[in-house]
Structure 1
Amino acid sequence: MQASFHYSTTLTRHISLNPNPNPKKIPLPISPKPLICKIVVKPTKKSLPPKPFPGFKPSPATAPAPVTVPKTHPPNLNPFQKLAALALDKFESSVIMELEKKRKLTKTVDPAIQLKGNFAPVQECPVQSKLEVVGQIPVGLEGVYLRNGANPKIMPTNGGHHLFDGDGMIHAVSIGPGNQASYSCRFTQTNRLIHESAIGRNIFPKPIGELHGHLGLIRLVLFMVRSAIGLVDASKGTGVANAGMVYFNGRVLALSEEDLPYHVRVTSTGDLETIGRFSFDDQLQGSMIAHPKIDPTTGDLYSLSYNVLKKPYLKCFKVDTCGMMSHVVDINLKEPTVVHDFAITENHIIIPDQQVVFKLSEMIRGGSPVIYSPNKTSQFGILSKDAKDDSGIIWVEVPNCFCFHLWNAWEEVNEEGDPIFVVIGSCMTPPDMIFNDQEGKLKSQLSEIRLNPKTGGSTRRVIIPDINLEVGQVDKRRLGQKSIYAYLAIAEPWPMISGMTKVNLETGETMNYFYGEKRFGGETWFVSTGEKEDEGYVLSIVRDEIMEKSELVIVKASTMELEAVVKLPTRVPYGLHSTFVTSKELEGQVV
């Protein structure tokens, strides 16, 4: 999740740092078919035998040394820009950075804590093939597992750094028949990363780690001045693309809240290539949250976009399977709210408006702009998928509720004949603990929330009360429909993930798979291979902190027993969200 700050400046002149200055179609091993409207895509068997990269040595199990690049600004600056750049650099180094040295950092933004151990960044790894596989990769499980995460290329200096602030890096594990497996990892070449790599230091403000108090305001103003005089080009995006992953209409998209998605292509060898920032053919103006939803019946993509500076603070939109965006619906919230996730049902969109909000005035008082608002009552909005505006939205209050992630939702009718909307999510307390230091222990409880739009009432039932359950999903073919199972990560001891679980949402029964002593994983991803909700496999990348090894584990969903392990050639840091792209979908990629 990314705290979103949008910088709006008028640029009179800017430098060009396009990662692909001569865009052209890249030939695929199999000629892509013309893009057509689709509803259901069934996987077919196709292997991805990557070629080994000669002479590659895996990166060490420790964090790489900070990138050392001369602190020079991009070429082609006019005399005024050069003078201004020197003056601003001097002000930053002699004033801001000196003040930052004296500031005591909290645990949530202290780089020594946030980037400790296996949270530390790694370098890129080109394709490594012929990986060791223990067990047998299941028949029908063919494609690439993609795991996104925050991985700062340039290490932070004196300022704060939150885990969510790092540059986006995608780890790709390609698997196929005959136990074929390969691995690679690459930075997503965002506008931010390209600028900072050219300059050789951090220049874009870190939304969570640095934008605190008066120093945060000064850093924000400094960045806006640099943008205004053409030292950096913020018009091409300020985001890090380090959170969500989705495959839609032939494209793998890497997402974070504060920017447009980035289109990333998986090559025929299993490598990763950033195509560029993706606006759905200039139809999307603004940002897109990290968790869009794809309707399994129609194939349409639904998502939200928010802005913390001006109204409307939230917007909702749909993109169909032909790539056409529907009308954008403005959601009129009273204040900008942290909306990292939402849900869909068969006919409606469920929009959370909860107690963690953006309040920039808190920076003037010396605090964080992301705060818990105890006087606010959380509510969920129920909006028709066909709505042209938000006049028909029905808000139902759910007191003392903050769901960072929502796993599914569906529609029912109760005994009185009232429509009921069932929402499955993980409710977190204290709500803002991942952003601000709080006393006590964090809880993330899997819960069932029932909304009655006719009476305006709601109930909340904790399904699993004594275990933190986070980052997971249901069978994506059941999104928006009643589902029996959810596959979730066991976030114990927080923030580490010690295993995965299959939860029966009706009975509360669980089947667990634990990784073992000093072995911790990440998000669980369910890949279906049959008709039933537990006919398939659950995947996650696991780190053995004793042996200092990383691996992809493949667990059979029906029994929650280990099926196969792919040994990875280098350390994979703990990360954020993931997806699985089938071999058939890989063939259909577009550029």
Structure 2
Amino acid sequence: MTTTPPTTASASDALPPHMAGNFAPVTDELTAYDLPVTGTIPPELTGWFLRNGPNPREAASPHWFFGDGMVHGLRLEGGRAVSYRNRWVRTSTFTEGAQAVDAQGRRNLAAGVANTHVVRHAGRTLALVESSFPYEIDCRPGHELETIGVHDFGGRLTTAMTAHPKTCPVTGELHFFGYGGPTPPFLTYHRADASGELVLSRPIDVPGPTMMHDFHLTASHVVFMDLPVVFDRSHPGMPYRWDPEYGARLGVLRRDDPHGEVRWLPIDPCYVFHALNAHDDGDQRIVLHVARYAEFGGASPAHLWRWTIDLATGTVAEEQLDDRFCEFPRVDDRLAGQPARFGHATTAELPGSGPIPGALLRYDLQTGAVVRHDFGPGRTPGEAVFAPADDRPGGPGWLITYVYDASTDTSDLVVLDTEDISADPVATVHLPQRVPYGFHGNWLPDPVS
């Protein structure tokens, strides 16, 4: 299956960094079967590896974050790479040119690009972007990742939805929030039960409209990050600007009192796109791990930091754990909100950063040890997702990621053994076209019958 090729810039035109090299979009939607494999795919891996990212249909976008969403999916089954396919998410913006804000300044929450994440909850697979409603896509056997349509929780969701919801592994609840817009409420906390019904929507007072990309969940708390990246419609490109005068703080809300007080604790000005994990440490301490930038939009890279909240004293201890650049941090999702010994992160180029040797990092959060997998010259990984080998949370498993090879302008799916990620890949699946650099995804194993 192919689409009409988009309009492309002439060779003489200077492309912005987010439209050059492997940041550039692909023009075709493909379906390919029985893909060639080097090595052996673990037979335990039966399901979909899905990853979302921006792929502007018109081959033009003012910012990396704004391209139309495209999901790349690889089906693994019985030790075989059964199929690969990539599909644009057919949002109303994609199909009808719908705008997020109309001429009267009213928001259309069904309009968006759904380009940031893809998650599963209560049997639905959702493509997400933080500026609008989710869109459901079809992963049932025999289907092609088609877009089913907008999902607003039966009309109960009245705000946008973060691209980084958290599923509690104990209750099955989906916790998330919505932010954005020039008028209050600037932040709303939501909770859906294990069946997918939206059961809680609670506005939270914050001083102004900031860009809140991620948050934290523990067994007992929700923690919000109110950081100094402030909405500014006049700002070129992204309508946000760095404003350290706004201040930075963490807001702690008890899960058993979702309409109760949010306790705000100051931290040093910084920005965080992505949280690794969080957990309670007794009754009065909360431990958070984040990929922290010294500021938003600057030249400084992100590093792994630990924040320890002391509720008894109302203070936050802030500590940098590593001096290596890292982004897209992930844990075994069965330990979301629980103590997790290991976390994983990616080292790779970002738009305008120039070439950075691509690697995956495995952090031992107890000992501080770091193990690195280097992919070799010109080979760059994306976010690596953990796929479990058995039913023990925190036990053995694999890291799965798409890897781009600049020397051949092709991409592979690579599987690494988490028990020895520095070793050669367990399996490398060779794909029929390159996968542009993108954002987030998940390993979605087939439900156990």
Instruction: Check whether TM > 0.5.
Output: yes
1:432 has 2:300 as partner: no
Q: Which residue of 2 aligns with 1:583?
A: 446
Deviation digits for residues 439-462 of structure 1, max 9, x if unmatched?
A: xx3220101100112211111111
1:324 has 2:197 as partner: yes
**Which structure carries more relative contact order (alpha carbon 8 Å, separation 6+)?**
1
2:28 and 2:213 map into 1 onto residues whose CA distance is 28
* Residue among 3, 28, 32 paired with 1:128: 32
Q: Give the partner amino acid of 1:377.
A: G
Q: Which residue of 2 aligns with 1:399?
A: 268
Q: Which residue of 1 aligns with 2:248?
A: 378
1:481 has 2:351 as partner: no
1:66 has 2:11 as partner: no
Deviation digits for residues 137-161 of structure 1, max 9, x if unmatched?
A: 01211111001000000133xxx61
Go from structure 1 to structure 2 and tell me whether the alpha carbon gap of 1:305 and 1:111 turns closer, same or farther (over 3 Å shift). Answer: farther
1:526 and 1:448 map into 2 onto residues whose CA distance is 21
Deviation digits for residues 362-386 of structure 1, max 9, x if unmatched?
A: 45xx896311112132111110113
Give 1 or 2: higher helix fraction: 1
Q: Which residue of 1 aligns with 2:173?
A: 300
What is the CA distance between 1:65 and its match in structure 2?
A: 4.1
* Residue among 368, 377, 381 paired with 1:521: 381
Q: Give the secondary-structure state (helix, strand or coil) at the position aligned to 1:327.
A: strand
1:569 and 1:527 map into 2 onto residues whose CA distance is 23
1:387 has 2:257 as partner: yes
Go from structure 1 to structure 2 and tell me whether the alpha carbon gap of 1:247 and 1:346 turns closer, same or farther (over 3 Å shift). Answer: same
Q: Which residue of 2 aligns with 1:311?
A: 184
1:427 and 1:250 map into 2 onto residues whose CA distance is 33
Q: Which residue of 2 aligns with 1:117?
A: 21
1:243 and 1:385 map into 2 onto residues whose CA distance is 26
Q: Which residue of 2 aligns with 1:571?
A: 434
Q: What percent identity do the matched residue pairs reach?
A: 29
Give 1 or 2: higher strand fraction: 2
Q: Which residue of 2 aligns with 1:150?
A: 54
Query: Which of these two proteins has the greater Rg computed from alpha carbons?
Result: 1
Q: Give the secondary-structure state (helix, strand or coil) at the position aligned to 2:22.
A: helix
- Give the TM-score normalised by structure 1: 0.70
RMSD: 2.5
Go from structure 1 to structure 2 and tell me whether the alpha carbon gap of 1:542 and 1:528 turns closer, same or farther (over 3 Å shift). Answer: same
Deviation digits for residues 201-240 of structure 1, max 9, x if unmatched?
A: xx848xxxxxxxxxxxxxx7xx517x99xxxxx7462210
1:508 has 2:409 as partner: no
Q: Which residue of 2 aligns with 1:456?
A: 314
Unpaired segments of 5 or more residues in structure 2? 9-13
Q: Where do residues 130-529 of structure 1 align in structure 2 (5 Å cutoff)?
A: 130-156=34-60, 161-196=62-97, 204=99, 224=103, 235=108, 237-269=110-142, 271-360=144-233, 362=234, 369-389=239-259, 391-413=260-282, 419-429=284-294, 431-433=295-297, 438=298, 441-465=299-323, 467-491=324-348, 494=353, 498-529=358-389
Deviation digits for residues 108-150 of structure 1, max 9, x if unmatched?
A: xx95322001111112423210100111101211111001000
What is the CA distance between 1:324 and its match in structure 2?
A: 2.3
Contact 2:278 2:336 in 1 (8 A): yes
Q: Give the partner amino acid of 1:404.
A: F
Go from structure 1 to structure 2 and tell me whether the alpha carbon gap of 1:369 and 1:484 turns closer, same or farther (over 3 Å shift). Answer: same
Q: Give the partner amino acid of 2:136.
A: H
Go from structure 1 to structure 2 and tell me whether the alpha carbon gap of 1:534 and 1:492 turns closer, same or farther (over 3 Å shift). Answer: farther
Q: Which residue of 2 aligns with 1:32?
A: none
Number of residues paired by the alignment? 439
Deviation digits for residues 454-505 of structure 1, max 9, x if unmatched?
A: 211111111112x111113111111111111001112368475701111001
Q: Give the partner amino acid of 2:364.
A: N
What is the CA distance between 1:424 and its match in structure 2?
A: 0.6
